[in-house]
Structure 1
Amino acid sequence: MADDPSRQTVSAVLDRAAASYIDAEALVDGEVRLTFAELRAAAENAARALAGTGVRPGDRVALCAPNSHHWVIAALGALRAGAALVPINTRFTAAETLDVLQRSGARAFIVEGEFLGRDRLAELQGADLPPVVVRLPASWVGSDVDLPEIAPDQLSDILYTSGTTGRSKGAMSAHRQSLGVASAWAACGELSAADRYLIVNPFFHSFGYKAGILVCLLTGATMVPQPVFDVVETMRLIERERITVLPGPPTIFQSMLDHPDRGSFDLSSLRLAVTGGAVVPVALVERMQSELSFSTVLTAYGLTEAVVATMCRPDDSPETVAHTCGRAAAGFELRLGEQDEVLLRGPNVMLGYLDDPAATAAAVDADGWLHTGDVGRIDESGCLSITDRLKDMYICGGFNVYPAEVEQALARLPGVAESAVVGAFDSRLGEVGVAHVVTLPGFELTESGVIEFCRSRLANYKVPRAVEFLPALPRNAGGKVLKNLLRKENA
């Protein structure tokens, strides 16, 4: 990234890409093919259209849509208008979406029409929505307004992440921070304008947005969005678009390796995979290199509050890649605190949680160290391994699940006296939820009934896949539920 601080904004990076790569393909989405110059023009038009509706610098623009050129243009347009982007998880229920809209104070809400059999805007009918609502796909008609100057320290995005209390928190980043982590990720992966990047990771997640879209803008790589992972479609896109870069959770690569039709696709263009968020066996790394043509497989560790904290390097061994998350990256300092909790400090630690100074102070101490809630160890070469989670969070299909949020939903089910949710190993998704439920006297609950109740209130990846009914939850002398015992039962 340029040394000139005034150019450390997303819009400046887009301007530079349009000037540097001009006619090179910036984005391929089905029949839509945009050069960097065309992408810049589309984003500018969207920015002027949003400004014409009253969106001003500092406003928040919420965006709920699947991976597509529509998402990219809307997001870059919002940022060019000086707004802060608030990506919303497309798996969220209407209640979860409305919560983010209201607490972020969004001025505008950009939402896809129908996706995965749901019309998210129709689900919100009658709710108190932001003043400006844009349904995608949109015909952006730019108004004749002046667009603002944007500063590197200006708020760029607010990414909501659940907390152990079950209440989501909006992690805020400045332009320079979002670009800083993207630049570090790109450097570790050695990305260039010769790369073609299939982005399966959702754009609403920092992995898809910052380690995806922003990385491509910084390096001139071509972005190829895929709205939903489908193994056959993924392999078809790799062959058709000569994809070189494919990050994602281990389940993506395992699905490709195990697919009976893999041999009928030409996957030889692949060179870089970046994975993490679950256990990565050494054998999987070796198979990815020998059977999927990847010359480089990297693992990384991050969280919404820091995005890219550690990352392996291209010359690391398969054992290092499988057993560690690599060394500190993106200017982060790394150390272990009490109970071997992973602590991070550096210029790319979030600005704080939106409207939540107490949670911010609890997460980032007076010396600037971010307390991650993860337990780890650091080897003699400085590589980090995550060994446990203080916060009980588990990862299902690449998505973080916070048991407290699921337990709060279960508490609303008549007949549930108490519950405890833990993650259990799953060969496809990494981990899935198992709910341990104690019923009230006189009530009879079924596993299917409990799961269906959760499905009506929670995003699919948060819904427990199994339910076990217990007469009582195991507790220690202080009354705390012993989730470690529940995990052993499900091991």
Structure 2
Amino acid sequence: MTSTIPAALARAAACFGPRYEHLLAEARRVARALIAGGLRPGDRLALWAPNSAEWVQTALGVAWAGGTLVPVNTRFTAVEALDIIERSHARGLVVVGPFRGADRLAGLRATGATLPGLIVSIPGGWADFLASGDAVPASEADARAEAVTPDDVADILFTSGTTGRSKGVMSAHRQSLAVAEAWAGIAGLGPGDRYLVVNPFFNSFGLKAGILACLVSGAAIVPEPVFDVSRTMKVIGDQRITVLPGPPTLYTSLMDHPEAGRHDLSSLRLAVTGAAVVPPALVERMRKELGAEVLTAYGLTEAVVATMCRPGDDARTVAETCGRAAAGFEVRIAGLDHEVLLRGPNTMLGYLDDPRATAGAIDAEGWLHTGDVGRLDERGYLTITDRLKDMYICGGFNVYPAEVERTLARLPQVAESAVIGVPDQRLGEVGRAYVVCRPGQSLTAPEVIDFCRGRLAGYKVPRGVVLRDELPHNASGKVLKYLLRAEAGDD
């Protein structure tokens, strides 16, 4: 196994032909341009853009230059993105130009904050950026790549905790590559595959089970910037896509679309899903209508790929479990809460600049406390049954209610709020906010939603608002969310 991303890229170019020879050449150009822009070994580069060839080239170019990649969620507002850029001490920023109606760079500049000295806008400024690297000898970039070690930090992916405060999850080169190799090995990924990466690259799955899994296996990377059913079906047919991971709603959207019969989806051989409940009937339908093997998996940013089903597992196993241990992980269920604990060489290095949170997540014996509740069957297959944390999943994206509640607390009329996830046929779960107004104050549901829209990424914005005179509390004053969930379940 290669143990640094530059070494893996060089190996791919040597073993997998022109496709990866070209990618190596482009990544080296990016590395030279980053060096020309002042990026030093160990410096961090924030990348705020949708899936694209430039995203892949930048991610690999940062590694080649000896830097650390800091992906930023494309759904973040400027304020949310700025928080990541500042807390990661990013020396550079690569940012998409106007995209889906938003000019992200203009939004950042409008905050008045001091931004990194190196800023590259894509695609408009891409050519000039690459040309700036012509002054840097290729040998200098190659020396940077050779100096990277397996234990150097490859990436910092920001997630959120139960307090709503984002945490930067640090992974070493050896760890990011190991989980990629494990995923690619179980999936049987190889040079003959064409992998349509719909999962966002800024997510640990899109980066590590996407870009890096292709890098170590020789599969072709086909980036998809935004999921659109009609376009995705066309790409599958035209590009002869063989691998398509995504949340369950992605597959139901494909199979239920009125144009489904007009496109040839027969090239698909593998669908990997998770992040939501997968009914056995859906697994059977996917296997029948798409003709693809269906696998489910479980992981989190701090561990990426912890368990995974195996080819040949029956539909009920795939639907009702997350598979068995993968990527060198041990899995056990601990305590009266039946919390899922993970231990292995690919557990994160820790949270950026937060040793206290790191110690709270990884105990003295090296077990990562996931906050998820589950059980293991006699085969070692894991089933997630509940969450100790309040996090819910909206359209495949994690939402942490505490962050939404903190936003609602900034509304002058709000005395108290509680946010839960409720089932949604299309997105899996959506947010519902229970809001108590201050005495003498009033709000409407649209006003609450509009307030959130200006301050939170779209998937975090509650889809429903319930205005209440009071919320249920325990003797300590803590909101009893299980009562709200039970109430929601009766709707």
Please report the TM-score for the alignment, with normalisation by the length of structure 1.
0.96
1:121 alignment counterpart: 105
Return the match for 1:17 from 12, 18, 34.
12
List alignment gaps of at least 5 residues for structure 1: 24-34
Q: Which amino acid aligns with 1:130?
A: P
Alpha-carbon distance between aligned partners in 2 of 1:360 and 1:472, rounded to the nearest angstrom? 36
Alpha-carbon distance between aligned partners in 2 of 1:276 and 1:470, rounded to the nearest angstrom? 34
1:313 alignment counterpart: 310
Return the match for 2:66 from 82, 99, 104.
82
Deviation at 1:144, TM superposition (A): 2.0
Alpha-carbon distance between aligned partners in 2 of 1:261 and 1:384, rounded to the nearest angstrom? 37
What SS does the aligned partner of 1:303 have?
coil
- Do structure 1's residue 144 and structure 2's residue 139 form an aligned pair? no
2:481 alignment counterpart: 483
Output one character per residue of 1:67-122: Cα deviation in whole Å (capped at 9) or x when no partner.
Answer: 00010111111111110100000000011000000000001011010111101000
Q: Which amino acid aligns with 2:446?
A: S
Deviates more, 1:282-291 or 1:121-130: 121-130
Output one character per residue of 1:117-173: Cα deviation in whole Å (capped at 9) or x when no partner.
Answer: 101000111321112111112121223241212111111000000111111000000
Deviation at 1:292, TM superposition (A): 1.2
Is the 2:35–2:136 contact (alpha carbons within 8 Å) kept by the matching residues of 1? no
Deviation at 1:423, TM superposition (A): 0.2
Alpha-carbon distance between aligned partners in 1 of 2:170 and 2:286, rounded to the nearest angstrom? 35
Q: Give 1:56-455 correspondences, 5 Å limit.
A: 56-125=40-109, 126-137=112-123, 138-139=126-127, 140-141=130-131, 142=133, 143-145=135-137, 146-147=140-141, 148=144, 149-294=147-292, 296-338=293-335, 339-455=337-453
Deviation at 1:488, TM superposition (A): 1.4
Alpha-carbon distance between aligned partners in 2 of 1:334 and 1:124, rounded to the nearest angstrom? 42
Output one character per residue of 1:313-364: Cα deviation in whole Å (capped at 9) or x when no partner.
Answer: 0011100000000001000010011210000000000000000000000000
Q: Which amino acid aligns with 2:52?
A: S
Alpha-carbon distance between aligned partners in 1 of 2:100 and 2:247, rounded to the nearest angstrom? 21
What SS does the aligned partner of 1:436 have?
strand
What SS does the aligned partner of 1:247 have?
coil
Percent of aligned pairs sharing the same letter = 65
Deviation at 1:477, TM superposition (A): 2.2
Alpha-carbon distance between aligned partners in 2 of 1:490 and 1:258, rounded to the nearest angstrom? 28
Deviation at 1:276, TM superposition (A): 0.3
Deviates more, 1:138-147 or 1:468-477: 138-147
Deviation at 1:188, TM superposition (A): 1.1
Alpha-carbon distance between aligned partners in 1 of 2:118 and 2:193, rounded to the nearest angstrom? 37
List alignment gaps of at least 5 residues for structure 2: none
Deviation at 1:398, TM superposition (A): 0.4
Alpha-carbon distance between aligned partners in 1 of 2:120 and 2:307, rounded to the nearest angstrom? 37
Please report the TM-score for the alignment, with normalisation by the length of structure 2.
0.96
Alpha-carbon distance between aligned partners in 2 of 1:127 and 1:460, rounded to the nearest angstrom? 23
Output one character per residue of 1:49-73: Cα deviation in whole Å (capped at 9) or x when no partner.
Answer: 1011110111000000000001011
Alpha-carbon distance between aligned partners in 1 of 2:473 and 2:439, rounded to the nearest angstrom? 20
